[in-house]
Amino acid sequence: MSPSADFTISDFPHKVLDPIATDTIAPSYASLLLAQRQLSANTSAIPSLNGGGAHGHMALTLTAAAYAELSDVPFVIPVAPIADPEPGTTQPQITENNRLHKHAVAIHSLYVAVNNALRRQILDAVPRVYVRDLEHPQFAVFRSRRME
């Protein structure tokens, strides 16, 4: 399987989350639990070999402890790979390193794309008043690097 960040919201079983809150109704435990389930279903629908490969990107919506209950293999968050080749490598080694780098970039890009799509879904399901304090004051983006 070759990862690709070319997925769309249409790949999610829940294209739009049920409202978590409205302007007049605050978030409730029930609405948050429903959103958690919908987000987990969405993440599990996007394949990943990470974490054993059976649960897609579900680690994005679960704590490490909750994910450990599902899989004996921990989900390691992909990091952006460095592009610099090792000094003194041969042409075949450079070719193989380029192939591995391209694959690692695809895995990281898909992870970031899924994470961003989930954040967008949450923002669309909650009135701005509930998320305003989470935004960076200058750039109006989430300050948190992972969904919590």
pTM: 0.84
Are 12 and 35 spatial neighbours (Cβ–Cβ below 8 Å)? no
What's the confidence (pLDDT) of residue 134? 76
**pLDDT value for 140:** 64
pLDDT in tens, 77-136: 999 988 887 888 899 998 999 999 999 999 999 999 999 999 999 999 999 888 877 777
Q: Confidence band (pLDDT; 50, 70, 90) for 141?
A: low
Tokens of 18: 């049920």
Domain boundaries of the chain, sorted by first residue: 9-134
**Amino acid, res. 111:** Y
DSSP state of 76: P
pLDDT tens readout for residues 18-65: 999 999 999 999 999 999 999 999 999 999 999 999 999 999 999 999
Q: Which residue's structure tokens are 């890009």?
A: 109
* Alpha-carbon span 101 to 83, nearest angstrom: 7
Cα R_g (the chain), whole angstroms: 18
Distance of alpha carbon 20 from alpha carbon 136, whole angstroms = 22
